[in-house]
Chain A
Amino acid sequence: MPVLEKDGAQIWRRHTLREKLVRWFGWLLGLLVFAICWQIISESTTWFFVWDAPRIANDIWTRATPPRWEYITQLGRPIWDTLNIATLGTIIALFLAVPVAFLAARNTTPSALFIRPVALLIIVSTRSINSLIWALLLIAIIGPGVFAGVIAIAIRSIGFCAKLLYEAIEEIDHTQVEAITATGASRWQVMAYGIVPQILPAFAGIAVFRWDINIRESTVLGLVGAGGIGLQLSSSLNVLAWPQVSLILLVILAAVVISEWVSAKVRGAII
């Protein structure tokens, strides 16, 4: 126990002197890095605009309120498109994620040496690139529209779903699998009766969870031209129609809150 001798009495200390020094230098180093980063940000900022920000914010606020409520009649179709992008994207992603997850899980992979790394690479690379970037890329390839949005959401979700699913597969109770194997079941029967029932609740939970996130992401995909309500947002922004922007933001907020509520309810019912 680190103690300090003072007037013959021992006083308890949280850290030894050495620990204190290491910590102190760690903080100093962190502070230094932060100062450098701040310096770089500060250099590429026009500070005049920043000092002017309260006035601008106030200006935008007065322009944006009240929202143009009658515009909502034109938002029905974009919202439907947004819902489709998120839902169809999630379904396609789940179809693709299941085989990837089975190939990536240590206890079900056919080859831990060759196939597992490939599956893990698919998971990491689809996960680390944002759906907006996938959308940009797909618009360049297959043209703007809802379809590009669906595929972008699908690709982005594969990694996420497969990662959570393969972790669930690795955590299954092995005794059940052994029991099914002991009855003389084939490889596929073991899968269907030993593994699938154990991961089905996790699978449903992951699907709803990802659907919720995808609703969020699909509302902004339109900013790059991939359909949905983001398209309306970006065209309203381009013509500086702030009352429309504020209405669209309110609609997006409502969609996000509702989807989160639905997802929480469904997950609560499953678990």
Chain B
Amino acid sequence: MSHRELDDMLGRKWRKPHFVTNPVLRWSLIFGFIAYLIAAFMTIEVDWGRVYEGLDRGWQFILAFTRPDFISRAGDIWGGLLESIVMTVAASVVGILISIPIGLGAARNIAPLPVYMICRGIVAISRALQEIIVAILLVAIFGFGPLAGFLTLSFATIGFLSKLLAEDIESMDKVQAEAIRASGAKWMQWINYGVQPQVMPRLIGLSIYRVDINFRESAILGLVGAGGIGATLNTAFDRYEYDTAAAILILIIGIVMMLEYLSGVIRARVQ
């Protein structure tokens, strides 16, 4: 039997190679992980009685998806949804427009060092702060309403898009850009004809992806008073109106699916 021969050749029984080859590291990882799990389970308090009581309500919620109620709170739902969409569109436009210069500045191969440091700093701050925390601060500063949400989403868009754009510019093909420069192009012309055509498809794809994320985020900003559908959803949960909540969730899922499909089509076309 060939299996026998292989074992004879190896001098031991063949076994699947381990994923982590260093045995000391492997066992310390496994033991550390198990120790952590035990510690974690010891400290989590679960009120199983409360969970058991809640199962009935959970079932009610799942049932609510079969009969979503779009009608009785129609005004609130459509108003909130419109506000979410408006915030998404405005924030995406402003965010993308601002993130292009910052993205150019954050690319080491076209920006001088001081500009690079400043732009990378902006990107790092924007990425480290979650949307909801930024929203809390901006609501405290600018007052309730969609303006705070709009500013939050714009700020978050800058961090996301600038970083990815900068990385794309850093990995571009230098030859094309050099050819444009050799023809005596000015800096703007160099960017416009040497760099832009190379990064445009990815920029468009990322922008549409960001619109998608912005819409999803706009659905929660209402929880802290920054406008959008979140406030309506929060009220619906607080009043145990699961059929209204289900209607809102179905609308959110539907719009996200539509955006995802759209971004797939557009990305396939530009690439």
Contact = CB atoms under 8 A, between A and B. Distances in A.
B46 A147 contact: yes
Contacts of A252: 133
Contacts of B44: 84, 88, 146-147, 150
Contacts of A98: none
B204 to A, nearest CB: 13
Q: Which of B58, B129, B220 has the most CB of A within 10 A?
A: B220
Interface residues of B, number: 57
Interface stretch (B137-145, B161-169, B173-181): B137-145
A130 B216 contact: yes
A132 B132 contact: yes
Interface stretch (B69-77, B101-109, B111-119, B245-253): B245-253
A152 interface: no
B110 interface: no
B209 interface: no
Interface string A34-50: 10011011101110011
Contact of A143 (B54, B132, B249): B54
Interface in B110-158: 128-130, 132-133, 136-137, 140-143, 145-147, 150
Contacts of A257: 128
Given A34-B90, A37-B86, A219-B130, A128 B216 contact: yes
Interface stretch (A18-26, A99-107, A133-141): A133-141
A143 B223 contact: no
Given A34-B90, A142-B54, A130 B133 contact: no
B147 A84 contact: no
A30 B93 contact: yes
A221 B26 CA distance: 33
A72 to B, nearest CB: 18
B227 A38 contact: no
B82 interface: yes
B257 A136 contact: no
B61 A130 contact: no
A37 B260 contact: no
A124 B57 contact: no
Given A44-B227, A128-B256, A142-B51, A84 B89 contact: no
B50 interface: yes
A57 B148 CA distance: 13
Nearest to A237: B136
Contact of A34 (B16, B57, B89, B146): B89
Nearest to B260: A124
Contacts of B31: none
Given A133-B219, A136-B233, A142-B50, A49 B256 contact: no
Nearest to A256: B128
B220 A53 contact: no
A124 B257 contact: yes
A87 B256 CA distance: 27
Contact of B82 (A33, A40, A217): A40
B268 to A, nearest CB: 16
A193 B129 CA distance: 42
B34 to A, nearest CB: 12
Determine which residue in B45, B87, B145 has the highest number of CB atoms from chain A within 10 A of its CB, and name it: B145
5 contacts: A84-B43, A128-B253, A141-B61, A142-B50, A220-B133
Given A136-B233, A220-B132, 19 more contacts: A40-B146, A41-B146, A45-B142, A53-B142, A60-B141, A84-B40, A84-B44, A87-B36, A87-B40, A88-B40, A129-B216, A129-B219, A129-B253, A130-B216, A136-B223, A140-B237, A141-B54, A147-B47, A147-B51
Interface of A: 30, 33-34, 37-38, 40-42, 44-46, 49-50, 53, 56-57, 60, 80-81, 84, 87-88, 124-125, 127-130, 132-133, 136-137, 140-143, 145-147, 150, 193, 197, 200, 204, 216-217, 219-220, 223-224, 233, 237, 249, 252-253, 256-257
